[in-house]
Amino acid sequence: MNTCCCNYDDYRETTDWLLSHTEQRPKVAIICGSGLGGLGDLLDNKTVCHPNGCSYVHWAVPGHEGQLVFGSLRGRQCVCMQGRFHFYEGYNIHTVTYLVRVFFLLGVETLIVTNAAGGVNGSFNVGDIMLIKDHINMPGFAGQNPLCGHNDERFGVRFLCTSDAYDRDLIALAKQTAEEQGCSTFLQQGVYCMVAGPTFETVAECRVLQLLGADAVGMSTVPEVVVARHCGLRVLGLSLITNKVVTDYASEEKTNHDKVLETTRRRTQDLQRLVSHLIAKI
């Protein structure tokens, strides 16, 4: 049974610990995907926190630094989560989303989630940035939804509408910002599908994802988005297309994490520029 292992007091304790370690009171939170932790390096007046006093806070995946960075970005107080929890590491779904509720209690109003993803849409190129307009929650189909279990009304309603999971105004603002920053030539928009991982997809699975209408696939993001919306946060999602999925049995191409990180390194500055200028407009 998918039972929550933490309660409101746990979230409150972590929140109070963080508030006692920084003078920043962020309104924007950024979750940095694989290799995208450099977003936190853009902050001014930084305070780096390692809330390891909470047993839920631990990262172990290459490309994820595993810390919270508080600071200001173009005049906006922000917190960057450099690294994230992953379902495939053995964490339950409530631990994966733990810090999102902490962000809500900190006073965060807008969540920007980033990830590295495989391109399912054949028209996408490696290095494209995809604005997430919707998602397909594969683990959720199998009962792994972070809202399963007792619902605490202090966070949100029992039955959450997710047809508006990704804020349309923020998407429009991101498009405008991309145009201004010269990023529009590699900006896409589409549907992100989350799978549990840690294996990359088989050829048959990739073909199924295409039939389902997915444009990109990854192993994160959706649980955090669901919890953020449950708490009433506005959400913007960005996927960096680091590879194209394999849909041909004759192909010799193989996806691996090192290639994902290499593509991320090449496009990092563009993504950072887009996000930082976007935050200035929020």
Residue 116: active-site member: yes
Residue 257: active-site member: yes
**Amino acid, res. 172:** A
**Amino acid, res. 178:** A
Q: 165, 214, 216, 219: which is the annotated catalytic residue?
A: 219
Phi, then psi, of 77 in degrees rounded to 5 = -75, 130
Residue 88: active-site member: yes
Q: 13, 21, 72, 88: which is the annotated catalytic residue?
A: 88
DSSP classification of residue 85: -
Instruction: Retrieve residue 129's tokens.
Output: 């940035």
Q: 34, 115, 137, 276: which is the annotated catalytic residue?
A: 34
Residue 89: active-site member: yes
Strand, helix or coil at 122? coil
Q: 86, 94, 230, 277: which is the annotated catalytic residue?
A: 86
Q: 21, 58, 72, 89: which is the annotated catalytic residue?
A: 89
85-89: Cβ within 8 A, 24+ apart: 85/56, 85/59, 86/61, 86/197, 86/198, 86/219, 86/220, 87/139, 87/144, 87/196, 87/197, 87/219, 87/220, 87/223, 88/196, 88/197, 88/198, 88/219, 89/60, 89/61
Q: 11, 29, 56, 64: which is the annotated catalytic residue?
A: 64
Residue 64: active-site member: yes
Q: 137, 220, 239, 276: which is the annotated catalytic residue?
A: 220
Positive or negative: CA dihedral 38, 198, 171, 11: negative
Q: 116, 117, 138, 178: which is the annotated catalytic residue?
A: 116
Residue 138: active-site member: no
Residues annotated as catalytic are 34, 64, 86, 88-89, 116, 219-220, 243, 257
